[in-house]
Amino acid sequence: MARFKLTIEYDGSGFVGWQRQENGFAVQQALEEAVTEFSGETPRVFGAGRTDSGVHALGQVGHFDLQGDYTADTVRDALNYHLRNVPVVVLEATQVDDQFHSRFSATGRSYTYKIINRRAPLSIDKGRCWWIPVALDADAMHEAAQVLIGKHDFTSFRATYCQADTPLKTLNVLQVERQGEMILIHAQARSFLHHQMRNFTGSLKWVGTGKWTTADLKAALDARDRRAAGETAPPDGLYLTGVSY
């Protein structure tokens, strides 16, 4: 039995998310079917994070076990051959020991949210960024974001149906930068609550438009009530960029 770690890139637009579901096609299902097609085996592919429908990945990590004798390069190339008709790519496959687990061995996860801030609608980036036509102050957004750094009760920024055992999380990084008409929001933590990054982004948008101040964002955090925070940003602009071990 050999265990393989995968680094995976995908466009989440046409998927119901990472996790297999009855209501549509999932990234996990695409990978598992590709494994079966090349190996004849039916292992489960475990992921480091359960990205939502429409959320993308530049560095998702997964793992699975195979009985057959395959090199890591063969696994990567065979999977990519059988994934050729879906927007999923295995960037790297590595053989690891059986103590490795893509989810439970992870020590950190990184996300980036992409906003296009311009008057003209999107064409090429449609479905891959959040289009906001009103002017945003990225510097004010970055300054306000710093009140969220550290260990907090993030109830105000979790989905109401989030299944995490506790709303307490430690946020290590939350940075906002402008690159021309694009605004990037970078976050890093050991783990995130359901919709946490999208709810951060929706609240920071209110800061960027001048609707909120840094004090308002801090008040929303302290309220520990989802109704106190901003809107949930659409999934289009969210990317899982990496997982650390």
Q: Which active-site residues does the annotation give? A: 52
Q: For residues 222 and 135, give the distance between their C-alpha atoms in angstroms, rounded to a whole number.
A: 28
Q: Which two tokens stand for residue 120?
A: 């003209």
Interaxial angle between packed helices 72-82 and 27-39, expressed in degrees from 0 to 180 and rounded to the nearest 10: 110
Nearest C-alpha neighbor of 43 from the set 61, 62, 22: 62
Closest CA to 21 of 49, 41, 50: 50
151, two tokens: 């260990």
